[in-house]
Amino acid sequence: MDGQGVTLGRRDGAVRQRPNQPASGNPRLDIDFLSPDGSQIGDGNGFLTGLDPISRNHLVDTFQRNPQGTSYEVIQHPADGITLVAVAAVERSLNWSASAIPDSIQRRDGAIIVGRLSPEITRKRLQEFGEAFAMSPSVVRTLVALYEHCDVKTAAAAAEISFYTAKDNLKQARAAIWASNLPRLITWAGVGSLMTDAVGENDQIVGELFALTDRQRNLAAQIADGATRADAAELLGISDAVAKKELAKVFEATGVTNAIGLARLFADLRAVAILTNNLGPAEPFPPPYSHELKVPDGNGREIAVSDYGPPDGKPVFVLHNTMNCRGVDRALVGALQNSGYRPISPDRPGYGDTDPVSGDGYGQAYLQVCTQDFAAICSFMGWTRVPVIAHGPVHIALALAQDLPDLIDKVIIDAPERYSAGDTAQGMIAGLKRKFAKRPWAVEAVVRMMCTLANFDRVRSNMQNWVADSPADRAAMADPALMMDFYRKLIPFRRGRVDGFVREQVLQATLEEPTPIPGTRKFSLLIGETDFMHDAAESLAYWRRALPDARVKILPGAGRFISYSHPDALIAELHEV
Instruction: Write the pLDDT tens digit of every residue in 230-248.
Output: 999 998 889 999 999 999 9
DSSP state of 308: -
Average pLDDT over residues 345-355: 96
Pairing status of strand 551-555 against strand 81-89: unpaired
Instruction: Write the pLDDT tens digit of every residue in 452-483.
Output: 888 888 888 888 888 989 999 999 999 999 99
Rounded CA gap, 173 and 192, in Å? 14
User: What is the reported pLDDT for 7?
Assistant: 21
Tell me if 398 is assigned to some domain.
yes
Burial-class residue 475 by CB neighbours within 10 Å (0-12, 13-18, 19+): middle
Tell me if 127 is assigned to some domain.
no
Instruction: Write the pLDDT tens digit of every residue in 436-451.
Output: 766 777 778 888 888 8
User: What is the reported pLDDT for 305?
Assistant: 97
User: What is the reported pLDDT for 2?
Assistant: 29
User: What is the reported pLDDT for 126?
Assistant: 95
User: What is the reported pLDDT for 283?
Assistant: 66
Last residue of one domain, picked from the residues 84, 116, 148: 116
Tell me if 295 is assigned to some domain.
yes
**Closest Cα to residue 121, out of 20, 17, 31, 18?**
31
* Backbone angles phi and psi of 86, in degrees to 5: -115, 140
User: What is the reported pLDDT for 47?
Assistant: 84
User: What is the reported pLDDT for 15?
Assistant: 35
Domain ranges, residue 515: 291-575
Compute and round to an integer the Cα radius of gyration of the chain: 25
Tell me if 75 is assigned to some domain.
yes
Tell me if 340 is assigned to some domain.
yes
Residue 550 and residue 491 in contact, taking contact as beta carbons nearer than 8 Å = no
What is the pLDDT of the chain when averaged over all its residues?
86
DSSP H/E element including 262: helix 259-275
Q: Give how many domains the chain has, as a whole number.
A: 2
* Backbone angles phi and psi of 524, in degrees to 5: -125, 130
pLDDT band at 513 (very low <50, low <70, confident <90, very high): confident
Instruction: Write the pLDDT tens digit of every residue in 86-121.
Output: 999 988 877 788 777 888 888 788 899 999 988 888
Which residues are CB-contacts of 5 (< 8 A; sequence separation ≥ 6)? none
Amino acid at 255: G
Instruction: Write the pLDDT tens digit of every residue in 517-528.
Output: 999 999 999 999
Rounded CA gap, 244 and 248, in Å? 6
Last residue of one domain, picked from the residues 69, 86, 116: 116
* Backbone angles phi and psi of 546, in degrees to 5: -75, -40
Residue 279 and residue 198 in contact, taking contact as beta carbons nearer than 8 Å = no
Percent of the chain with pLDDT over 70: 90
Rounded CA gap, 434 and 427, in Å? 11
Whether residue 18 is predicted with pLDDT greater than 60 in this model: the reply is no
Average pLDDT over residues 191-201: 79
Rounded CA gap, 346 and 304, in Å? 6
Q: Which residue has the higher pLDDT, 436 or 531?
A: 531
Beta bridge partners of 314: 341
What CATH number does the domain containing 30 carry? 3.30.450
**Closest Cα to residue 201, out of 466, 451, 27, 1?**
451
Whether residue 23 is predicted with pLDDT greater than 80 in this model: the reply is no
Tell me if 121 is assigned to some domain.
no
Residue 455 and residue 198 in contact, taking contact as beta carbons nearer than 8 Å = yes
Instruction: Write the pLDDT tens digit of every residue in 178-191.
Output: 899 999 999 999 99
Which residues are CB-contacts of 480 (< 8 A; sequence separation ≥ 6)? 284, 285
Cis before 416 (ω within 30): no
Residue 332 and residue 257 in contact, taking contact as beta carbons nearer than 8 Å = no
Average pLDDT over residues 388-417: 95
User: What is the reported pLDDT for 20?
Assistant: 42
Please state the pTM of the whole predicted model. Answer: 0.73
Tell me if 129 is assigned to some domain.
no
User: What is the reported pLDDT for 93?
Assistant: 79
User: What is the reported pLDDT for 17?
Assistant: 39
Tell me if 157 is assigned to some domain.
no
Instruction: Write the pLDDT tens digit of every residue in 533-573.
Output: 889 999 999 999 999 999 999 999 999 999 999 999 999 99
User: What is the reported pLDDT for 98?
Assistant: 79
What is the chain's percent helix, strand, coil content, to nearest 5?
45, 15, 40
What CATH number does the domain containing 446 carry? 3.40.50.1820
Sign of CA dihedral 269, 270, 276, 277: positive
Last residue of one domain, picked from the residues 63, 90, 116: 116
DSSP state of 281: P
Q: Which residue has the higher pLDDT, 304 or 311?
A: 304
Q: Which residue has the higher pLDDT, 76 or 6?
A: 76
- Indicate the range of 53-62, 291-300, 447-456, 483-492 predicted with least confidence: 447-456
Rounded CA gap, 569 and 276, in Å? 46
The residue count for the chain: 577
Whether residue 201 is predicted with pLDDT greater than 80 in this model: the reply is no
Instruction: Using alpha carbons, list the distances in angstroms from residue 527 to 162, 392, 441.
Output: 49, 10, 31
Which residues are CB-contacts of 299 (< 8 A; sequence separation ≥ 6)? none
Whether residue 250 is predicted with pLDDT greater than 70 in this model: the reply is yes
Average pLDDT over residues 305-319: 93
**Closest Cα to residue 201, out of 115, 122, 262, 276?**
276
User: What is the reported pLDDT for 458?
Assistant: 85
Instruction: Write the pLDDT tens digit of every residue in 254-284.
Output: 999 999 999 999 999 999 988 888 766 666 7
DSSP H/E element including 101: strand 101-102
